[in-house]
């Protein structure tokens, strides 16, 4: 499986993270998103006329849209990351997959504005991002009251992976995360999962690694 990817893309990271968590090997094909705008080159537009990344190639299959790619990887290698049989759980997975698009359109656009100087009304994007974070916090509070640590169940699903990166990188777009204690707990739970990988701006939990011991004279 080949992933057309960009190291700073939160949507590319969703796919890399999902693959790492379920032990799927990906061949990474770096795309010069910035400054080269390679995602709008004839080669990539022929794969995805929408001109967006990530794109996943698996044999003859070409998939675009990160949520679809997450579902594909999970269905292939780890179906427990999809919704189970309960109607409510199935609906919640869909709800948060849809919601993740709003995170991209608000927090993601604010981040592109602040990091890559893309045009946009930054105050409006930040306000929309804050509204989305409040919705996520409220949703997670209610799940916690039901005894569940994740968005759709008491186990992580593709919905959590779809929402996590743009939330974790919100400060890149000037939107602070200090005011969301339940998002903080959820983020910790995701970063504690076996196989969790980092991307620039999202680090793993240092306390889970053994403390480095340096002897005097070694430093």
Partner 1 sequence: MLADTTGSWTPVALSADLPAGTVNPARIATESIALWRSDSGRVAASADRCPHRGMRLSHGFVRGEAISCIYHGWSYAQAGNCLRIPAHPGLVPPETIRVVTHAVEEADGVIWVAFGTPASIPPKLDGFVPLRSLTILAMTAQIEAAAGAVANSEGLIESGTIRLLLSTQHEGETLVHVLVKDDADVATRITASRTAENLRRTAEDLQGKGSVQ
Binding site for partner 1 (CB under 8 A): 134, 137-138, 141-142, 145-146, 178-179, 181-182, 184-185, 188, 205-207, 211-212, 214-219
**How far apart are CB 180 and partner 1 at their closest, in Å?**
8
**How far apart are CB 208 and partner 1 at their closest, in Å?**
9
**How far apart are CB 92 and partner 1 at their closest, in Å?**
14
Nearer to partner 1, 76 or 134 (CB): 134
Q: How far is C-alpha 76 from the chain's CA centre?
A: 19
CA-to-CA dists, residue 141 to 82, 130, 162, 175, angstroms: 22, 16, 18, 20
Nearer to partner 1, 27 or 178 (CB): 178
**How far apart are CB 39 and partner 1 at their closest, in Å?**
32
**How far apart are CB 83 and partner 1 at their closest, in Å?**
21
Bridge partners of residue 30, in order along the sequence: 5
Nearer to partner 1, 68 or 189 (CB): 189
Beta carbons within 8 Å of 87's beta carbon, 6+ residues apart: none
Q: What stretches of the chain adopt beta strand conformation (E)?
A: 2-5, 27-30, 55-58, 61-64
Nearer to partner 1, 37 or 176 (CB): 176
- Element (DSSP H or E) covering residue 119: none
CA-to-CA dists, residue 143 to 1, 99, 134, angstroms: 34, 16, 14
SS3 for 3?
strand
**How far apart are CB 18 and partner 1 at their closest, in Å?**
25
Nearer to partner 1, 118 or 134 (CB): 134
Nearer to partner 1, 85 or 211 (CB): 211
115 class by beta-carbon count within 10 Å (0-12 exposed, 13-18 middle, 19+ buried): middle
- DSSP secondary structure code for residue 218 in this structure: T
């Amino acid at each position: 499986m080949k992933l057309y990817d960009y190291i700073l893309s939160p949507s590319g990271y969703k796919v890399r993270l999902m693959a790492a968590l379920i032990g799927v090997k990906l061949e990474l094909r770096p795309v010069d998103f910035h400054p080269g705008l390679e995602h709008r080159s004839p080669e990539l537009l022929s794969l995805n006329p929408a001109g967006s990344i990530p794109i996943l190639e698996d044999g003859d299959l070409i998939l675009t849209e990160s949520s679809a790619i997450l579902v594909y990887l999970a269905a292939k290698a780890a179906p427990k990351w999809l919704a189970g049989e309960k109607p409510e759980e199935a609906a919640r997975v869909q709800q948060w997959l849809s919601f993740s698009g709003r995170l991209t359109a608000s927090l993601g656009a604010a981040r592109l504005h602040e990091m890559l100087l893309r045009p946009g009304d930054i105050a409006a994007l930040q306000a929309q991002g804050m509204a989305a974070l409040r919705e996520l916090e409220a949703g997670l509070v209610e799940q916690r009251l039901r005894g569940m640590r994740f968005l759709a169940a008491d186990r992580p699903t593709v919905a959590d992976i779809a929402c996590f990166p743009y939330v974790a990188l919100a400060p890149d777009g000037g939107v602070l995360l200090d005011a969301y204690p339940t998002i903080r707990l959820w983020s910790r739970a995701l970063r504690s999962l076996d196989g969790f990988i980092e991307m620039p701006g999202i680090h793993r939990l240092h306390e889970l690694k053994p403390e480095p011991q340096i002897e005097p004279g070694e430093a």
